[in-house]
Structure 1
């Protein structure tokens, strides 16, 4: 048992060290760390091939990003004479990442709304756009020219954006719950869940190019959305304390003409819409991204389950402490009560809160306290999955331990075994054997649930799919591919667990 645990610990630590290895650079210039989604074409989208326009994503090795925001970032870094580093972060995590020091600036098509200005500073505008609606063709809204034409319609927008705030301007509108990505907005309109969604013109053009069943509705002057300057512009976001950087960014933006900016956007839209991909074309183009996502998903699930299993053995030992009123001294009684209380609190905490909440608190919380070089989204994800899994497996094992005849523990103690040795050599082997199906199920759960770690930038299979969707605005094909991959992974796992269970049962019958 000790040898097995040692091997598992060495394996887990090796995987973590490999995952967290940080590339070094000889560039002595000051860094400019940019945060963006890498899933918001034509402003930014993930690409798998290297080109003059693509730029590496530092927190997703092997992936690159293209788009208007990327070209603007490269231009600003050139003018400021800084070493550009780009990180892909979910939209909801951009401002937390900025304020925690994970990134220096946000260049992600973000508008300087009054709510956001309370949290961060914004530069002068770096792009000015037009607000439009995207609707399904051959509907009553296709020929709309005024906002009043959408009276009584079902309208949706991306969560946390100014476009969601504009929807109430429509009379009698059914203001639907905002969604987290444009791919979801597209799916909502295509499936008739929504009648329209609000977007800025460049994004709408990319969406319609990839989805011919949709069309853009532009409004007559004076009859569209009433908006402030902040509603039709996008700016660079910075921390409140970075006043010097704000001055530098504004000075650099002043050197980039409006003509240059518009040309950059036109070229970004053209590059994003260069070709329409069928199923096999999409797989061929983005296979490296899917493979990378599968690798990270397996790493998280395997390491998290193994690490959680090892940690759960300690938790079960603390949780099953029994106080012997006759033999235990005062100090030992206090120690047992503390151990039981701590393990109970731990289990309740991690089982009672969603993993996505734990990820946000752990990752950005640690970033606020200290800047550890090894504290990457992947290393944080490995720790979060391990801690979360240990709480569930601990309860599984506790039930198995309680189901074992108490006489076996008493017999072991009477033979001179300590409590720890009795657990390791007598109780745990039986409990683990009985709990094997449930532990296998926990591994399957980890294969799927690690998708929530995309919120801190972990490029697992779900996040990789999200980036493919953000680049193509094809909301169905990439997720069909991902569903097949998940089914294959969980199916193989189920077969392996059933084999181990039947093999163990066969050995017992043989020795009976």
Structure 2
């Protein structure tokens, strides 16, 4: 009971420490909002001054935005990409693309990780409360994609009563299923290609999406069929628009000018859509997995980089936390306990997103890769600390007493007697943590880090295949972890005979 009380007091102190930061930030935001009404908006000038337009999107939404392999390199293509290029050109700046999950885009916008979101986004009334939208630049209906063998079974939106219908998380389609498809259950996933995979494996009966995207998938997959859902959509919400941070009047005006010019020249129908169709046809002809080996290689490179760096820093911090927890100092002990329990009590995905979007809102130049490494390192440290602590406590007290009686200091005792024996005892557990970290690092794909899982999703969207890229990724993970297990077992055997 006494320890619980101490932990509660410590947690209150930690919250108190962070409260002033949030209050100052809130006050700054409030002041900024007040001042913005009194001064001229400078959002456009800021983009011009830094020389880049950072656009957030989810590149799994053909023909709006998707990836294609051009000269062995990944290239973002589609209607939205061409529009983004024109928008950046009109402002005289360089276009920078940040690819992430659709349901993370508005968070990235509000935390200023991106300047704009151009991702087939509908300007719903709910979204307009949080962000500003440009004029609508493209309009299409809502179609339902089903397996072709079910085309006689599902003919209208009312046919799905008692069935599960899929939609991307955070989209208008998700709420439309809930509101207008009576009796149907909604299944939300972050990536559209995963929804198509769920459709083909029978997990959902249909997937609701934009007309152009539905036709794109059907055109490239003979096993799929699409029809007009005829769901009722507010006129202001039927099209797609560019999203900006709240109060970005000058950026919105610049975007509206670009959109007006694009519409006047009929570039979307005459140029952007044909370009997208050409890339889609090329992808369908070259959609063998062998053609995308560079994607998997690049993803593996990032995965190993994240793992090695995270293991290094996680081990150092873990040793420090273990010693703090074993110390007689109440403050150090309590801090270590609070950190370890908090990290182990929260999901790694939440930690990754907090570091990138939360801390990244203060340090806006924080790259996604660095944020991912920091989050994975901090998470690993908590588990490593417990492994090391258990190893140290497993050493008989007589070992320590004998070392001290021979004149060794406490530091020397730990350095030459306790730690070497503890490492031998905990080596298998440390090895397991290393292997687990390789697999768990796939979480960083949610913030757009190009690890193995991220590259797998790119291959899925580029080839319109769901199962095969996942199977190859599974094999790669298995080969890496199996090889590492053998190496760790080798060194474990060496320790036993030392």
TM-score (norm 2): 0.86
Give 5+ residue unaligned stretches, structure 2: 1-47
2:307–2:441 CA contact under 8 A, matched in 1: yes
2:169–2:188 CA contact under 8 A, matched in 1: yes
Find the counterpart in structure 2 of residue 329 from structure 1: none
Specify which structure has the bigger relative contact order, considering alpha-carbon pairs within 8 angstroms and separated by 6 or more residues.
1
2:174–2:186 CA contact under 8 A, matched in 1: no
Deviates more, 1:148-157 or 1:101-110: 148-157
Higher helix share: 2
Deviates more, 1:451-460 or 1:418-427: 418-427
Q: Deviations over 1:370-405 (max 9, x none)?
A: 334xx2111111111111111101101111111110
C-alpha separation between the residues in 1 aligned to 2:239 and 2:214?
15
Q: Deviations over 1:92-150 (max 9, x none)?
A: 22112112221110011111112211221111012111111111112254672x43344
C-alpha separation between the residues in 2 aligned to 1:93 and 1:148?
31
C-alpha separation between the residues in 1 aligned to 2:234 and 2:139?
12
Q: Secondary structure at the match of 2:461?
A: helix
Q: How many Å apart are 1:312 and its aligned residue?
A: 1.2
TM-aligned CA distance change 1:420 to 1:49, over 3 Å = farther
Q: Does the alignment pair 1:416 with 2:407?
A: yes
C-alpha separation between the residues in 2 aligned to 1:191 and 1:201?
22
Give 5+ residue unaligned stretches, structure 1: 1-26, 52-61, 323-335, 508-512
Where in structure 2 are the equivalents of 1:147-186 lying within 5 Å? 147-170=157-180, 172-186=182-196
Deviates more, 1:416-425 or 1:302-311: 416-425
Q: How many Å apart are 1:271 and its aligned residue?
A: 1.6
C-alpha separation between the residues in 2 aligned to 1:489 and 1:286?
19
The one of 434, 440, 456 equivalent to 1:449 is 440
Find the counterpart in structure 1 of residue 302 from structure 2: 296
TM-aligned CA distance change 1:192 to 1:118, over 3 Å = same
Q: Does the alignment pair 1:504 with 2:495?
A: yes
Q: Deviations over 1:323-348 (max 9, x none)?
A: xxxxxxxxxxxxx1111011111111
Q: Does the alignment pair 1:104 with 2:115?
A: yes
The one of 24, 39, 49 equivalent to 2:60 is 39
Q: Secondary structure at the match of 1:157?
A: strand
Q: How many Å apart are 1:277 and its aligned residue?
A: 5.4
2:355–2:371 CA contact under 8 A, matched in 1: yes
Q: Does the alignment pair 1:251 with 2:257?
A: yes
TM-aligned CA distance change 1:422 to 1:46, over 3 Å = farther
Q: Secondary structure at the match of 2:472?
A: helix
C-alpha separation between the residues in 1 aligned to 2:461 and 2:219?
13
Q: How many Å apart are 1:166 and its aligned residue?
A: 1.0
TM-aligned CA distance change 1:320 to 1:185, over 3 Å = same
Q: How many Å apart are 1:408 and its aligned residue?
A: 1.4
TM-aligned CA distance change 1:383 to 1:147, over 3 Å = closer
Question: What is the count of residue pairs matched by the alignment?
Answer: 449
Find the counterpart in structure 2 of residue 121 from structure 1: 132
C-alpha separation between the residues in 1 aligned to 2:181 and 2:297?
47
Q: Secondary structure at the match of 2:336?
A: helix
TM-score (norm 1): 0.83
C-alpha separation between the residues in 2 aligned to 1:355 and 1:143?
40
The one of 279, 284, 288 equivalent to 1:276 is 284
C-alpha separation between the residues in 1 aligned to 2:89 and 2:465?
34
1:206–1:273 CA contact under 8 A, matched in 2: no
Deviates more, 1:159-168 or 1:171-180: 171-180
1:304–1:386 CA contact under 8 A, matched in 2: yes
Q: Secondary structure at the match of 1:435?
A: helix
C-alpha separation between the residues in 1 aligned to 2:196 and 2:458?
15
C-alpha separation between the residues in 2 aligned to 1:359 and 1:230?
35
Q: How many Å apart are 1:493 and its aligned residue?
A: 0.9
C-alpha separation between the residues in 1 aligned to 2:78 and 2:89?
17
Find the counterpart in structure 2 of residue 351 from structure 1: 344
Find the counterpart in structure 1 of residue 457 from structure 2: 466
C-alpha separation between the residues in 1 aligned to 2:220 and 2:323?
56
Q: Secondary structure at the match of 2:188?
A: coil
